Structures are given as C-alpha cells and as structure tokens.
Structure 1
Amino acid sequence: MSHTFSSSKICKYDAFLSFRGEDTRKSFVSHLYNALVQREIDVFKDDERLETGKSISYELPKAIEESRFAIVIFSESYASSKWCLDELAHIIKCRNELNQIVIPIFYNVNPSDVSHQNPPFANWFSKYEEKYKDDIEKVQRWRDALAVSGKIAGYHLQNFKDEADCIKKVADRIMSLLRMEFDEDDDEVYSVGKSGTGVNSPILLDGGKLSISLDKKTRKKCFMVPARGLDIEWGNNPEHWEWLSHPDSRFAEVAKLKCVYWLDIQGKIETRILSKRTKYVAYLVFKLEDKFHGLETVNAVVRFVDSMSVKEAEKRASVVHFSGRGPRATLPFRRGDGWMELKMGDFYNDAGEDGDVDARLMETRRLDEKAGLIVQGVEFRPE
C-alpha cells in the first residue's frame, strides 16, 4: 500500500514508539530502538527524549504529531495504561489528518484481540467503563482506536522465527519507507531502493540518469543530474571532452575537460519532482586536475525556464571562482564525499511551480584555453 506525507508537515522525528513499559521496555522495545538508531533513524522513545520538567500530557502528543511513523507495540498489558490508549487515539487521529504511517506490532497478542477488544483487552475495558461512566466518549475513542489499529497490516510476532527476525523486518521496512518521497500533487513515487548506509545515502534512479537522497536536516528531496544528463557544449567531441569512469563518482561516467575555449554547461530539472515550498541551491559537483587552467572565473545563473529568457538570465549571471580569490559565497567547497561543489545559484520552488529550472555555468566571452575540469553532475539541494 502506498503512503504519503504532506511536504508542509514538519517532521522532527522519523518514528514514535508507543508501548507498555512493564511488558516490553527492557526487552523487545530496547532491541527495536537500538536497531532503528543503528540505521540512523531518529526515534522518539519517552525515556530517551522527554526532557526533565516538561509536561508529559503536552510533549507526547506533540512528539506524535512531529513523527513520520508511529510504531505501536501491542502487548498483553497495553490497554492497562490510559497513557498508552491516549497515545493510540492521538496516533490514529494523526493517521487520519496528517497521513501518518502507523506500524502495529502484535507482541504475544492477536490482531483480532486488539480490533475486537477480546481478552486481555476486554478485562481492562470493563473497568474503564465503570471508572469513566461520566466520560464514556473517552472510552469509545480508545475502543475506536484499537478497532482501527487491529486491522492495519502489521507484524505479528508469532509469524517470525524469533524477535530478532521481527525487529529486522520492521527496521528494514522503515528504512525503505524513509527512502520514498511522493510528489504531493500526484501519485508518482520515487522509490529509492535499499542501497546506501543512511537515510540520506544517494540512490540511482531511472537506470542511473538521476540520483535522489533525502537531505538529513530538512528531509526534503535532493537530486543530482549526472554529467551524461547535462547539456555540455562539445561534450560529444572527443577532442574537447573525455567520458570515463571515476572511482569516487556515484554515476557510471564523468566528463573530463580536455580543451575548450568556450565553456557552457547546463543542467535542467523538473520542478514537479522537487519538494514544494522549498528553497533550492544548484551546485556544480566537480574535481580539478593538478594542471587545470583557464577556469579561474566563470559566470553562473539559475532560472525558471518559462519565466526568464536566456538573454535576461545572462544579464543576471554572477561571477564564481574555481580557484583564486573572491567572496566566500563565490568559492568552491570540499564536500564530505571528496568532491568539490560550486554554487551556481538558488531558487524557491513554490507550490504552484510546474516547469523546468535551468542551472548554467558558462564562460563564452574570455576565449582562453580551458582544461582540467572533471564534472560529476549538477546537484539541486534544499537549503
């Protein structure tokens, strides 16, 4: 089943754990929590994240709302806690109103026992109906939340060879879901597989014609167009550019500049696949050979193709520097993956944008010989 989040929803956590402490805290939940953390999944667990002095009645609902997933571990004593039942009712509310993904785990109980409040759940509800006879709507909210939860496809412990197997399957599923981003205006999904070591690891799409990752800070979509997907002037002329593999590149080929006098590199991306209401920065991702030359300064510009002409964009182009001196914002920076990046420009992808953004790097006036540039691609990254 496909799930989607509104990209306007701010998610502080990847997952919220709801469980009855006396049943599972020091066993199943502890192991599940560690498995998620080891995969760099940001988890809210009450004894790990509640700050001293903060109100539980305020902090827990807030944490639920700020989580992408709610993992509910139904155990024999789950319904004995009104805190757990209040959490669950709020989780189901977030599922309905915020499209939150709920992942139930049935720990030594059957899904039908949860949905129908059979024993041991029935025993607790007999007490609640007596205790809260003046607030029967509260009890009904709890019943409704359990009824919905028991019907959600989840993980029944008895179907796994052991707890470790169940935990691995849950953690793997969350990793897979975290690597999915939906365009909020249609049903197109960008599935990014199982590669990489963290939720922000780049994954190749469309046979290597594009890569996607989730920016770890903003959880917004980050794309890189490979060199083969760029419009490089004379790029197919072996006298000017050479195409070769590179051990540090995520793509099959990079473009190596042998010799040109007219440098013009353009990368385009469709705004519909980017995260909405987000400021993006376009970067050229590159390396320089030791004997590079002619690349000290170039012009860079980013434009919405349908709203700015090429001539107007060229007038607005800013000077950037591959080397030498210049304002900090115009100089390249070394990335964590060993490549360099040079800012080409930025733009705001509003909810109504639907077209192409063009990021262009050029030096077409100073016709000096240029060589020694190795291009991996152009990255469009949320700021």
Structure 2
Amino acid sequence: MSHTFSSEIHKYDAFLSFRGEDTRRTFVSHLYNALIQGRIDVFKDDERLETGKSISDELPKAIEESKFAIVIFSESYASSKWCLDELAHIIKCRKELKQIVIPIFYNVDPSDVRHQTQTFAESFSQHEEKYKDDIEKIQRWRDAFAESGKISGYHLQNYRDEADCIKKVVERLMSVLHIESDDDDDDVRAFIRGMDNNSPILIDGGKMSFSLDKKRKKCFMIAARGLDIEWSHKPKYWKWLSHSDSRFTEVAKLKKVYWLEIQGKIDSRRLSKRTKYAAYLVFKLENQFHGLETVNAVVRFVDSVSKKDAEKRASVVHFAGRGPRETLPFKRGDGWMELKMGDFFNDAGEDGYVDARLMETKKLDEKSGLIVQGVEFRPE
C-alpha cells in the first residue's frame, strides 16, 4: 500500500480500522454512532468510500487525512490483508505524521497483538504461506502489529460493558479535539499521548508538570528546582530532598533564613488564551515551623510592571493564623497545601513572562519549617 503523504490538514477527525465480520454490526456500529453523536467526523469504509473509487486508492488517503486512527483488534483482524495493510499505513502515519493511534482490544489480549500469538499466529502462518515470495510484506505487517500492541489503549475486559468502553473513547476524542482546535502545542500533544487519565505529566526535564482541568484548560506547576528561591543553593539555609507525596524528584525544605523570597516564572504563551489564571504556592509546614505566619505575595507581567511597582501592591497572605478567607491556605486533594499568590488574565498569550513572587524581606525574623513542592499556575 504505497501512497504519497497528503498535507497535515485533517479532513476527518477519526479513521476506523476493523474486521467487518467480527464487529461491523455490533461494537463498531455502536462506536460509530456514538462518535457521530459527539460531532466527531469519522471515516468508516462502508460509509465514506466514493462510488467508483478504488479501495486501495481511497483508504490510504483517508488514513492520512485523519487526526486519529482507532484500530479495533478482534479475533479475525489479522486474517484480512486489507486490515493489515491499513494497520501498516496507520503506524507509518503515527511515526511520520504524528497521528494519534487508539487501539481497542475487542475480546483479544494486547500481549497477543504484541507477539502475534493465539488466533493471530494462525492468521500470520497462512499469510506467510500465501506470500512466501514477499517476506518484506509479512514483516511490515508483523512490525505494525507489534508496535500497536505496545500502545496503551482500551481493553474491553477492563470495562463494565461495551457501552462503558465506548463512552471513554468518545470522551477522550471529544476533549482532545476541543483542545487542539483552540491551542495546538507540544504540551497538549504530550498530555494526549499520556493517555486517558488526567494525571499530570512531567515536562521540561522534570522541572515542570502539565495537566488539563475539567474545562480542558492548561495547568502548569513549576517544581521547586525550577523556582528562584533565595539562598536555596546554600545547604546552611535550605535542604533538597525527596518527598513521597511530591510529583517531582525533589522538594526544598527551609532550614533557617531571615530573608525569604520565592519566585516562579512562566511564559504566557504556554497558557490557555482568554483565561483568568491564579498562581499558588504548593507547600507543607513542619510541626515546628517558625516565623511564617504572614508574608507578601504578588503576580505581575514582567514586561509591563516593574519589580518595584509590584512590591508596592503586594498582598498580605498567611501560612497560618487568622485573616480573610482568600489570604489563607487550603488543603489540596493530593495532601499538600496551597496559598494563593495572586491572579491575572491571560488574553492572547502575548504579554511575555508572568512572575509570581512570595516574600518576607522587611521583618528579618528567623523563618523555618517550610517545604516547597512548587508554584502552580492554573485557571480560576
């Protein structure tokens, strides 16, 4: 199945690859209808092939013009030469066009796909006999199968029923297509490849994490190692250590300082556009913390507001004690505490860097007992 790659403009949202006799009137039919109801434009060969067009001409083009390829592996999938050709082309598009491939394992095990065992072994044995003069074709099919079996996907037996599995697949496509129609960037693509849970992924060499909130807006946390923490390079004042509850490899533990200043900075171009954000210090306090009851915090666009002017309008926040609700810390779902440092509106992402700073540099009292995981920028 040779074909010249088309442009990166996607004509279809998803291409369905399946073995008709196994699934066409059952699982595939239900999945297809659910995708259409979700306003996802799907290429399904018996629905979209134009009259008079050759299958060998039309299918490769449809695969290339699809953002997703959904491959439903069933027991007789490998018995079809057409399915194997489709799969080989899909894997090629995954490598060369960054197509997102979603395997669904329908009454088969991913390991059998990966190693071509069980019913797949018999199918490949028959192909090897039939195409014994074309070893390269057989190897191309085997490689595509092996690669597909390594991709994290949807194993039907892990869901309550077919409807539950279909629901998860459709939700994933709907969320991804919504995101990328607005903000198509490396962070989002990396998160998408992280599969179907919303756990943060580590980026930028582990110095930042990225996730998406319920509205599919971008959230970033800068690790303590990515922050500018005054005196943190001095073991006398700060200690770097691992923490079992942290998403990062290290956190910063305050041993003793008199001058406290913590700064986190992010490029506004990485954030969701036309969105109000807030910055939060994510931390824990040791039982014997000291001198941290009241500090100042401010958020500014570096190119628009000077450091001196920002300090003048800094807000008072509290690690402990009493104060207005918005100035007090809250416990997060992950067991850490967070303290709001300020908020801002990210319009078109063209305002340069955003700087979130927490400081206590006026009262030179001893301060200790603070554990910093990072600074998080997330939509309000």
- TM-score higher than 0.5 here? yes
- Which of 284, 299, 311 is residue 302 of structure 1 equivalent to? 299
Alignment check: 8 A CA contact 1:183 1:273 kept: no
Give 1:164 deviation, angstroms: 4.4
Q: Deviations over 1:98-155 (max 9, x none)?
A: xxxx5x455xx5xxx8322469xxxxxxxxxxxxxxxxxxxxxxxxxx9986774534
Cα–Cα, structure 1 residues 260 and 197, in superposed 2: closer, same or farther, change >3 Å?
Answer: farther
CA RMSD, 1 decimal: 4.4
Alignment check: 8 A CA contact 1:195 1:203 kept: no
**Which residue of 2 is the match for residue 209 of structure 1?**
207
Alignment of 1:157-236 (within 5 A): 158=77, 159=83, 163-164=106-107, 171=153, 178=176, 188=186, 190-192=188-190, 199-215=197-213, 217-236=214-233
Alignment of 1:240-251 (within 5 A): 240-251=237-248
Letter in 1 for 2:190: V
Alignment check: 8 A CA contact 2:291 2:366 kept: yes
**Which residue of 2 is the match for residue 116 of structure 1?**
50
Give 1:350 deviation, angstroms: 0.6
| Equivalent-residue separation in structure 2 for 1:241 and 1:324 (angstroms) | 24
Alignment check: 8 A CA contact 1:195 1:201 kept: no
Letter in 1 for 2:212: L
Q: Deviations over 1:4-45 (max 9, x none)?
A: 99xxxxxxxx99x9xxxxx86854466x69xxxxxxxxxx94
Alignment check: 8 A CA contact 1:271 1:353 kept: yes
Q: TM-score, normalised by structure 2?
A: 0.62
SS in 2 for 1:192: helix
Per mean C-alpha deviation after superposition, the further-off stretch among 249-258 and 200-209 is: 200-209
Give 1:199 deviation, angstroms: 3.7
Letter in 2 for 1:269: I
Q: Flag structure 1 segments of 5+ consecutive residues without an equivalent.
A: 6-13, 18-22, 34-43, 47-59, 65-69, 71-90, 92-101, 120-145
Q: Flag structure 2 segments of 5+ consecutive residues without an equivalent.
A: 1-5, 17-22, 54-58, 78-82, 85-103, 111-147, 155-168
Alignment of 1:197-346 (within 5 A): 199-215=197-213, 217-346=214-343
SS in 1 for 2:269: helix
Q: Deviations over 1:274-316 (max 9, x none)?
A: 1111111100000011111111110000000000011110111
Q: Deviations over 1:181-206 (max 9, x none)?
A: 66968865554368978542100012
| Equivalent-residue separation in structure 2 for 1:195 and 1:250 (angstroms) | 19
Alignment check: 8 A CA contact 1:298 1:320 kept: yes
Letter in 1 for 2:345: Y
Alignment check: 8 A CA contact 1:115 1:149 kept: no
Per mean C-alpha deviation after superposition, the further-off stretch among 340-349 and 160-169 is: 160-169
Cα–Cα, structure 1 residues 187 and 151, in superposed 2: closer, same or farther, change >3 Å?
Answer: closer
| Equivalent-residue separation in structure 1 for 2:9 and 2:371 (angstroms) | 38
